[in-house]
Amino acid sequence: MQVIRAVGREAAAKKYDLLSAMMAHALAGDKHRQRLVLRLMVLITARYNWQRDELTVGQREVARLWCVDERTVKRDMARFRTLGWVEVKQQGARGRVSVLGLNLDRILLDTKQEWQNIGPDFVERLAGQDATVSDNVVPLHRPAPVPPAGQGVWAEASQRLLAEDRVLYESWFSSMTDAGIDSGCLTLVAPTRFHANYVQTHLSERLRTAVRRCDGTILRVRVISP
């Protein structure tokens, strides 16, 4: 997947690509998804600083822009954070608003299914080798990509990870086992120390997003080795 960095000579085209992907994703969903995505697109076009990856705007201003009350703003911004589309870069304090950033890679990953609705040229332009995992790094174990049986947060999150990227799931997530949840932290066991360290270092955000979409009460995901 092509990683979008909206800077340089092709910045304008990259911005249009991102917004096009978001629009296609919204139109393929119900009215609730359409409204939610539209609200974020408005913030991106009106207030997002592309070069610094910063969205600095107060709830009152967002409420005015969206024509809603501040409770709705608070609720929807929490949904964006749970989706992993919006991240808090600096928590607001002493009358200052929080500095937010966009996880452009996560947005593209979630909208990938609808790229084909735009056209093959769009898919070709954005498709490619996923930059999340280096070609030079391979895990020590490559079990068959079968999600864990039964119910539970990890079983559901595994299904999501498999649907997002089969190769990535087979390489890094399929061999991890559920060690339980304690105090809002899900612990997973990887087959080796190297495997655990790599997932924690390079894939923790994707892992945490998948888990939180299944259970929003989980705040952390810890990966350990035997």
How do residues 70-106 score in pLDDT, each as one tens digit? 999 999 999 998 888 998 888 877 778 889 999 888 8
The dihedral sign for the CA sequence 214, 216, 218, 224? positive
**DSSP one-letter code for 95:** T
Task: Kindly report the pTM of this predicted structure.
Answer: 0.65
Sheet of strand 185-189, all strands in order from the earlier edge strand to the far edge = 177-182, 185-189, 220-224
pLDDT category at 123 given cuts 50, 70, 90 is confident
- pLDDT at residue 126, rounded to an integer: 83
- Average pLDDT score over residue span 188-192: 93
Selected from 3.30.70.920, 2.60.120.10, 3.30.300.180, 1.10.357.10, the CATH number assigned to the domain covering 153-224 reads 3.30.300.180
DSSP single-letter state for residue 113: G
pLDDT at 164: 84
* pLDDT, averaged across the chain: 84
The pLDDT of residue 4: 52
CA–CA gap between residue 100 and residue 84 (Å, rounded): 12
Collapsing DSSP states into helix, strand and coil, what is residue 223?
Answer: strand
113 or 63: which leads in pLDDT:
63
Euclidean distance between CA atoms 212 and 153, whole angstroms: 9
Give Cβ neighbours of residue 156 (< 8 Å, ≥ 6 apart): 214
Query: Given this model, what pLDDT does residue 129 score?
Result: 36
The string of DSSP codes covering 165-191 is -HHHIIIIITT-EEEEEETTEEEEE-S
What residue ranges do the domains of the chain occupy?
11-110, 153-224
CA separation, residue 176 to residues 80, 121, 162, 165, 182 (Å): 27, 37, 13, 16, 17
Domain spanning 11-110 has what CATH number?
1.10.10.10
Q: In what side-by-side order are the strands of the sheet with 99-102? A: 48-49, 54-55, 99-102, 86-90
- Can you name the residues that pair with 88 across neighbouring β-strands? 100
| Each residue's pLDDT tens digit, 165-176 | 888 888 889 889
- Report in angstroms the alpha-carbon separations of 79 from 76, 82, 138, 210, 216: 5, 5, 34, 13, 10
When pLDDT is averaged across residues 206-214 and rounded to a whole number, the result is: 90
Place 2 in a pLDDT band, splitting at 50, 70 and 90.
very low
Burial pattern 123-161, b for ≥16 Cβ within 10 A else e, equals: eeebeeeeebbeeeeebeeeeebebbeeebbbebbbebb
pLDDT band at residue 9 under the 50/70/90 scheme: low
pLDDT digits (tens, 9 = 90+) for 12-68: 778 899 999 999 999 999 999 999 999 999 999 999 998 888 999 999 999 999 999
